[in-house]
Structure 1
């Protein structure tokens, strides 16, 4: 797929639109998934490259993307990308980022005022950036009519009462102040924990480890199932090696346990697994293989505005 495309599938009565902010080689593969070994990448290069692995540069290929769900007459955004004009000194690639995310949303037929619900799977800068917009540091919610669902555990961990993530990274304070605090001030933030039902088809569920409040969004409509797993997975290599965390996981043991639990259920219930950062087809079914997992069919997307359902 190209960076400019918006793609769609229909799962039961829910339309899913994929809007990509950016994708490409990001960082050395085993820096992103430090527990993986070279063989895990080399043995699977026939399908990892080029969508998930830049073989020549040995770099993980990732996407920054938002999933738009049209469910029950409402428009739901799952994660909001990096955002423009942010101070991110600890993340050089995202520091003072400028992109056309809102233009890409508009190209998919989504206006900010039409969004009803924003889901932040967790509070990292590449998942909450377009929560707000503004100039000269005056940040206001980008989606003025939306309810923002923010995991309570992440709000507490990254908020001022915990010194913005225990003060370990300056970026954590900046992210909270420009992308979370303005939503609170506007009265649009809803904190949740454990389980939170959005509608008859969509349910949020805690899956901690990557961050204290990391969550997944489950979709069940008719016979179709999907799970939007946020940063539970950064690379398909982690499906084959579920004990391998990303370098960004705050509690590695808990993150690996959440990953295995979600993958087991996805395999048993034939859920389409939809991570935040997979390139290529972006979403895949998972199968049990012995004590581990194997990849099933990848999602079959259509251009936005046409009718298509996921392969399975």
Structure 2
């Protein structure tokens, strides 16, 4: 699954690492739980009969003056972390790259919104760097967090992959700060909370913009209910504040949004609806 478009002079392509469909779509009740602040009756009323969400892995390639970069890399091949059913449904990034003429050896940069395994394992799944000549970028707080002592239960499933990503890239991993221009036309935007160094990525060229929001939201339900957190938000109040800020900016400035986990290609616009928001896909699949 590929989708090609441009942001000014930045040539872009969304390549899916996989998008599990029925009967393998995850339950909404796994994402929005009483423990994360969403009572079961509130979720039931909001869902209006829907019980699952579509969890895509939409990796974004961007052609910059300094070479081609990818924002997040999917789960990669041979992944069994969510159960055996998931293994044949993900790890499609390499095939998608080949179909649009992208070479792993020619990739210049890997930009991580954060280091959860579904965003970083695609870069290291084989035990070696998938993109051997690429420089990697992640927020300094993200690198520091996963390099230290991690005791939070929701973080533990991601710890091994995050640390292996840091180890394998080594000196080729360049920590950044919010506001930094990572590559020409590619800027890091503050979005902490989901993880300590979670970042959004803003592309800008010739007056056109695209905001990659990473895991700011998993489903349109988090636009109509922006205070909802998930079990994977390590700092729920901060994640809610980041989500509201990014949604307000995307709506008020009419910025095209790239949402990593929404149905392929994860592109759309955000509109205000009173104190909440609505999601408008760029087009139907």
Q: Which TM-score tier does this pair reach, normalised by the shorter chain?
A: 0.7 to 0.9
Task: Assess, with a 3 A threshold, how the Cα gap between structure 1 residues 59 and 128 changes in structure 2: closer, same or farther.
Answer: same
C-alpha RMSD of the superposition? 2.4
Q: Does the CA-based 8 Å contact 1:19-1:105 persist in structure 2?
A: yes
Counterpart in 1 of 2:282?
299
Task: Find the counterpart in structure 1 of residue 45 from structure 2.
Answer: 39
Q: For structure 2, list consecutive stretches of 5 or more residues without a partner in the other structure.
A: none
Distance 2:139 2:16 in 1: 23
Check 1:174–1:301 CA distance in 2 against 1; reply closer, same or farther (3 A cut): same
How far apart are the structure 2 equivalents of 1:40 and 1:225? 32
Structure 1: gaps spanning 5 or more residues: 46-54, 303-312
> 87, 92, 96: which is aligned to 2:83?
92
Q: Which residue of 2 aligns with 1:140?
A: 128
State the Cα distance separating 1:8 from its structure 2 match. Answer: 1.2
Query: Does 1:75 pair with 2:68?
Result: yes
Matched, 1:15 2:15: no
> Per-residue CA shift, 1:182-230, capped at 9, x if unaligned?
111xx21001122220234210122100000100001122232210000
Deviations 1:26-75 (A, max 9, x none): 32113213326223221xx7xxxxxxxxx4xx111110121111122521
Matched pairs, number: 273
Aligned-pair distance for 1:252?
0.7
- TM-score, scaled to structure 2: 0.87
SS of the residue corresponding to residue 222 of structure 2 reads helix
- Name the structure 2 match of 1:238: 222
| Contact 1:9-1:300 at 8 Å conserved across structures | no
Counterpart of 2:235? Answer: 251
Please name the residue that 2:158 is paired with: 172
1:286 to 256, 259, 270: 270
**Higher mean C-alpha displacement, 240-249 vs 198-207:** 198-207
Q: Cα distance, 1:170 vs. partner? A: 4.6
Larger % of strand: which? Answer: 1
Q: What does 1:211-230 align with in structure 2 at a 5 Å threshold?
A: 211-230=195-214
Q: Please report the TM-score for the alignment, with normalisation by the length of structure 1.
A: 0.80
- Confirm or deny that 1:66 pairs with 2:62: no
Distance 1:181 1:229, change over 3 A: same
